[in-house]
Amino acid sequence: MSRWNALRAYTALPATAGPWFLAVTLIGRIPASMGQLGALLLVSGSTGSLMLGGATASAFAVGQAAGGPLVGRTADRYGHRPAGLAAALLHTAALALLVVCVERGAPTWATLASAVVAGFSVPQVGPLSRARWTALAHRGRLPMDRFPTAMSFEGTGDEFAFVLGPALVGVIATAASPRTAVLAAAGLTVTVCVAFALHPTASLVARGPDRDGGGVAAPVLRVPVFLLAAGLTGLGCYFGSVQAGVTWRAVDAGADGAAGLIYAVLGLSSALAGVLVPMLPASFPLARRLQVGFALLVVLSLPLAIAGGLRIGGLWLLGPLIVLPGVTIAPILVTAYTQAEMTVPVERISWVMTLLTSSVVVGYAIGALLSGTLADRYGPLAAFLIALGAAGVGVTTGSLGRRRLAALRPGQAAAPR
């Protein structure tokens, strides 16, 4: 297959999954990227306390990190439809409750609890969508050589949601109010996320105990799962640290709003790179691709870290410099999720996909908290150095686990050992 034909493989995706699937999976992941910022703006705007707003956003993130694998495990056990519906309805109710708590001046614990529940019940559209592509591949409806293309589509969708969700919150909060922004996220959840849960592809995902024909429990390749989760935790930490460093520079320059715009460039460049991932040659193995991706992330982040950390040039310089590391991010994510399909039986695929997504969330929370604290004390260089160290975690896991990851083959985990 030529490289341009690899890009044409995208045209097969709508016919494989159904014409509406691509729409509901793309739009359905936007609410998850709106909730954290919406909670922060809602609480800080109502109380005048940025600390309480930050605590609420952190509570949302903690709930999301803890709830993701549970939603995935529930989807594996009982099916995508009941799990998806329960998560969407609970998430909608929790967002509405958060608004009520803030509007009625409820105790702080009630506000934080509703934020935790809202995060815990995020419908996990992105990871579950990846699980459905895996089911399509295992059922022969999606050729296995097209599976990386589906993962590239998913990675690009994640990046666009990552950019569009916070932008929508900002626009709606400015034009109306933060309350309206949070309720808009709830409205999208109860419509589009419910539509995702009910889509016919939900019935294709195997459910129940993951056992082979002889009643023996099908294996989970635990070491590769751990390696992939550790690498994506480092990537999440990179996100949080870079955001903290860019925000420090923007606030210092008296242009607070520019931080979001600069950080959005990271997502846009990553999304573009994600579209082009299918053009990578098949002779470039996945394990090597993951290792090289993290190494390039370190190298291409150096100009950003130097200019941002040492305050070289104006704030405008960070925009073009952040493009460089951005082009490595989606390829790393696409590669990790493609390998994840090989680590578990198809009956556990929802769990492993949500686990990796939660790893990114956990890493982000660690990076944002640690870098924000150190940047306040020592300046932006601390945040950018932590970002480089977090990318180095990915290099380390990719290098130490290269042999284990290189041994993965499609369907390997489904065979008993």
Whether 236 and 356 map to the same domain: the answer is: yes
Whether 235 and 194 map to the same domain: the answer is: no
Give the three-state DSSP class for 217. strand
Whether 192 and 312 map to the same domain: the answer is: no
Whether 96 and 231 map to the same domain: the answer is: no
pLDDT at 165: 86
The first and second tokens of residue 226, run together, are 């751990």
Question: Cα–Cα distance between 299 and 294 in angstroms, integer?
Answer: 9
pLDDT at 184: 95
- The answer to whether residue 6 is domain-embedded is no
- The answer to whether residue 10 is domain-embedded is no
Measuring CA to CA, how many Å separate 229 from each of 133, 143, 208, 223, 363?
20, 26, 24, 10, 10
Whether 67 and 90 map to the same domain: the answer is: yes
Whether 290 and 176 map to the same domain: the answer is: no
Whether 295 and 391 map to the same domain: the answer is: yes
Give the alpha-carbon dihedral of 266, 272, 278, 279, to 10 degrees: -110
Question: Cα–Cα distance between 101 and 118 in angstroms, integer?
Answer: 13
| Among 356, 377, 385, CA closest to 241 | 385
pLDDT at 219: 64
**How many other CB atoms are found less than 10 A from the CB of residue 326?**
25
Give the count of domains, the chain. Answer: 2
Structural domain ending residue among the three candidates 205, 235, 259: 205
Contacts of residue 407, defined as CB under 8 A and 6 or more positions apart, other chains included, come to none
- The answer to whether residue 4 is domain-embedded is no
- The answer to whether residue 141 is domain-embedded is yes
**Distance, first Cα to last Cα, the chain:** 34
pLDDT at 383: 92
Structural domain ending residue among the three candidates 159, 182, 205: 205
**For helices 222-252 and 318-340, what crossing angle results, to 10°?**
160
Whether 254 and 317 map to the same domain: the answer is: yes
Q: Looking at residue 323, which CATH number applies to its domain?
A: 1.20.1250.20
pLDDT at 182: 94
Whether 180 and 301 map to the same domain: the answer is: no
pLDDT at 5: 63
Domain of 352 in residue numbering reads as 219-408
- pLDDT tens-place values along the chain, 417 residues long: 455 666 677 888 888 888 789 999 999 999 998 888 888 888 888 888 767 887 888 889 889 999 999 999 999 999 999 999 999 999 999 999 999 999 999 999 999 999 999 999 999 999 999 999 988 888 888 888 788 888 888 888 888 888 888 888 878 888 888 899 999 999 999 999 999 999 999 988 876 655 544 444 556 678 889 999 999 999 999 998 898 888 888 888 888 667 778 888 888 899 889 888 888 887 888 889 999 999 999 999 999 999 999 999 888 999 999 999 999 999 999 999 989 888 888 888 899 999 999 999 899 888 888 888 888 889 999 999 999 999 999 999 988 888 888 877 765 554 433
Structural domain ending residue among the three candidates 205, 239, 259: 205
Instruction: Tell me if 190 sits within 8 A of 305, measured CB to CB.
Output: no
**For helices 286-309 and 222-252, what crossing angle results, to 10°?**
20
Whether 389 and 266 map to the same domain: the answer is: yes
- Please tell me what DSSP assigns to residue 413: G
Whether 233 and 186 map to the same domain: the answer is: no
**What's the length of the chain?**
417
Whether 196 and 336 map to the same domain: the answer is: no
Instruction: Tell me if 280 sits within 8 A of 274, measured CB to CB.
Output: no
The first and second tokens of residue 255, run together, are 């242009």
**Distance, CA of 249 to chain centre:** 25
- The answer to whether residue 278 is domain-embedded is yes
pLDDT at 52: 85
Contacts of residue 84, defined as CB under 8 A and 6 or more positions apart, other chains included, come to 75, 123, 128, 193, 194, 196, 197, 198, 202
Note the pTM of the prediction, 2 decimals.
0.86
Measuring CA to CA, how many Å separate 23 from each of 124, 261, 323, 393?
16, 25, 27, 35
- The answer to whether residue 9 is domain-embedded is no
Question: Cα–Cα distance between 154 and 336 in angstroms, integer?
Answer: 12
